[in-house]
């Protein structure tokens, strides 16, 4: 099985993702860096950050040890959001960024995300090259050849200043609740929203190493919903553990997911003339209601495979300015090279202020279609594209739904299963068709 998934390396910390593996990955990455470094006047440099998991402490130590032992100077930025590391790599001209985080996963997990020069995620070829070179024999530098590890005390403030540079409309008059998921946004998000002009109530902003994502954050919106209603706030923002995504709830406690946020921002970008090519990039998993909303707004949509890295690749290829995922990963290329939940929340809040409408009113531009997802497990997913019976069943389902529904079958990238997703005008119809298709998949591929 490949070491790298769609978003770096991830697994159970100290069992799947060990200090030894973290060190080996860092060394292999350093070798790639040294070999591709065209400016021999200075040693390669790396930015290393982490979220608030206790396991991040030993994994960060291993990564720093691996990089410096291979001759890379490391700037440690401590607990900061993933997009902060990406920004700091771009801002400083560093050769590599390493973020130790498992994002929205439970606390026992952890992960390693790598960023290339300029702050973008590594492409598949570089990841494959790093994986291939893990454990290879190498000549270790000595003396002045080893790298240094420096604590970068100014990183947090530089990132906050960058975030605030995106604010052209002050948030004065807004009352916002922010759920920091006891994660990396805890020391950044509340402060940033306050400096932008909002009144801020922060919850789950006291990480202790163990409580990240625990019944809070973007995967547990009920906590934010309760707080927004209790405080009489205009809306609430929920981040995940590393703050690369943002979801919201309006003043009535209704969820505002990534598709709805994309709808609001796309319309706002278009009105301000900043939606390049009048196009937004989304993944195939965005709700059909999003596509209808974009059609109604006369905005084009380009779709990609699931994963914000694929969204960004399309945005760079076509020079688009806005893209994202239903999960709340949104990319605004004017300000970021990856999904940034705090930037997303700032942009959303500005649309509320500029429009003079409530978040609930803005969100009404998209009407969500009922969506049912069925995972068909333990099947030969590699045969999915070749099954004539499955193709016939999908065509029949699509004919039954017409323009008022959608079918998507997708092989999992990490597990032996096929995901069957159906959207329809009613939950009952979506469930009926999804279950029927799942039976066909099980029969043909089981």
* Distance in angstroms (rounded) separating the CA atoms of residues 186 and 56: 16
Which residues on neighbouring strands pair with residue 372, listed in sequence order? 422
Q: What is the pTM of this model?
A: 0.91
> Strands across the sheet with 235-239, in order?
199-203, 175-179, 235-239, 246-250, 255-256
* Closest-CA residue to 371 (of 287, 267, 281): 287
What does 5-72 look like in DSSP terms, one character per residue?
BTTBEEEEBTTTB-HHHHHHHHHHHHHHHHHH---TTS--EEEEEE-S-THHHHHHHHHHHHHHHTT-
Q: Which residues are catalytic?
A: 103
Radius of gyration of the chain measured on its C-alpha atoms: 22
- Can you give the pLDDT at residue 178? 98
Q: Which residues contact 62 (CB under 8 A, 6 or more apart)?
A: 19, 20, 22, 23, 26
DSSP state of 210: S
Identify the pLDDT of residue 42: 81
**Are the C-beta atoms of residues 301 and 291 closer than 8 Å to each other?**
yes
Q: What pLDDT, on a 0 to 100 scale, did the predictor assign at position 38?
A: 67
Q: 198: helix, coil or strand?
A: coil
Q: Hey, is 410 helix, strand or coil?
A: strand
- How far apart, in whole angstroms, are the C-alpha atoms of residue 188 and residue 194? 10
Q: What's the pLDDT tens digit per position in 172-205?
A: 999 999 999 999 999 999 999 999 999 999 999 9
pLDDT at 414: 66
pLDDT at residue number 1 = 52
Indicate the burial class of 72 (C-beta count within 10 angstroms; 0-12, 13-18, 19 or more). Answer: buried
CB under 8 Å to 272, separation ≥6 — which residues? none
How far apart, in whole angstroms, are the C-alpha atoms of residue 426 and residue 371?
Answer: 9
β-strands 175-179, 96-100: how paired? Answer: unpaired
Mean pLDDT by 10 residues, the chain (446 residues): 79 96 96 76 92 98 97 97 97 96 95 93 87 92 96 98 98 98 98 98 98 97 97 98 97 97 98 97 94 97 90 95 96 95 98 98 96 92 93 94 91 83 93 95 92
Q: Is 331 helix (H, G, I), strand (E, B) or coil?
A: strand
3-state secondary structure of 337: coil
Q: Is 44 left (phi over 0), alpha (psi -120 to 50) or beta?
A: beta
Cβ atoms of 314 and 304 within 8 Å: the answer is yes
Q: Which residues contact 357 (CB under 8 A, 6 or more apart)?
A: none
Nearest in space to 328 (alpha carbons), one of 344, 314, 306? 344
Quick one: tokens of 357?
A: 């409408």
Query: Cα separation of 67 and 29, whole Å?
Result: 8
Domains (range + CATH), the chain:
9-154 (3.40.120.10), 166-363 (3.40.120.10), 371-445 (3.30.310.50)
Write down the pLDDT at residue 72: 96
């Amino acid at each position: 099985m490949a070491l790298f998934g769609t978003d770096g390396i991830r697994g159970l910390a100290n069992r799947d993702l060990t200090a030894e593996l973290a060190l080996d990955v860092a060394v292999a990455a350093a070798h790639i860096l040294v070999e591709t470094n065209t400016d021999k006047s200075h040693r390669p440099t790396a930015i290393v950050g982490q979220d608030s998991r206790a396991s991040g402490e030993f994994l960060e130590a291993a990564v720093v040890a691996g990089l410096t032992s291979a001759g890379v100077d490391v700037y440690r930025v401590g607990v900061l959001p993933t997009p902060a590391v990406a920004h700091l790599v771009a801002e400083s001209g560093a050769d590599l960024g390493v973020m130790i985080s498992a994002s929205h996963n439970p606390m026992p997990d952890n992960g390693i995300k790598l960023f290339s020069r300029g702050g973008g995620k590594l492409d598949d070829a570089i990841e494959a090259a790093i994986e291939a070179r893990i454990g290879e024999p190498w000549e270790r530098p000595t003396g002045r050849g080893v790298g240094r590890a420096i604590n970068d005390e100014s990183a947090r403030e530089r990132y906050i200043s960058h975030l605030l540079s995106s604010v052209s409309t002050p948030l004065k008059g807004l009352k916002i609740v922010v759920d920091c998921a006891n994660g990396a946004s805890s020391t950044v998000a509340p402060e940033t929203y306050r400096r932008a002009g909002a009144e801020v109530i922060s919850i789950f902003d006291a990480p202790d190493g163990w409580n990240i994502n625990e019944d809070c954050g973007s995967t547990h919106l009920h906590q934010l919903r309760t707080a927004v209603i209790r405080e009489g706030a205009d809306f609430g923002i929920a981040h995940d553990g590393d703050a690369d995504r943002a979801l919201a709830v309006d003043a009535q406690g209704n969820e505002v997911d990534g598709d709805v946020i994309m709808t609001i921002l796309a319309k706002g970008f278009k009105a301000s003339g900043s939606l390049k090519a009048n196009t937004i990039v989304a993944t195939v998993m965005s709700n059909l209601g999003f596509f209808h909303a974009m059609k109604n707004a006369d905005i084009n949509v380009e779709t990609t495979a699931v994963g914000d890295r694929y969204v960004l690749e399309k945005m760079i290829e076509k020079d688009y300015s806005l893209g994202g995922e239903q999960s709340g990963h949104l990319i605004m290329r004017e300000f970021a090279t990856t999904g940034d939940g705090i930037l997303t929340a700032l942009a959303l809040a500005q649309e509320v202020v500029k429009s003079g409408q409530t978040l609930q009113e803005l969100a009404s531009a998209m009407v969500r279609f009922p969506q049912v997802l069925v995972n068909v497990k333990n099947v030969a997913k590699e045969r999915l594209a070749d099954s004539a019976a499955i193709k016939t069943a999908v065509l029949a389902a699509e004919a039954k739904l017409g323009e008022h529904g959608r079918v998507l079958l997708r092989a999992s990238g990490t597990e032996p299963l096929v995901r069957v997703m159906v959207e329809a005008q009613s939950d009952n119809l979506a469930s009926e068709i999804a279950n029927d298709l799942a039976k066909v998949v099980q029969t043909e591929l089981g």
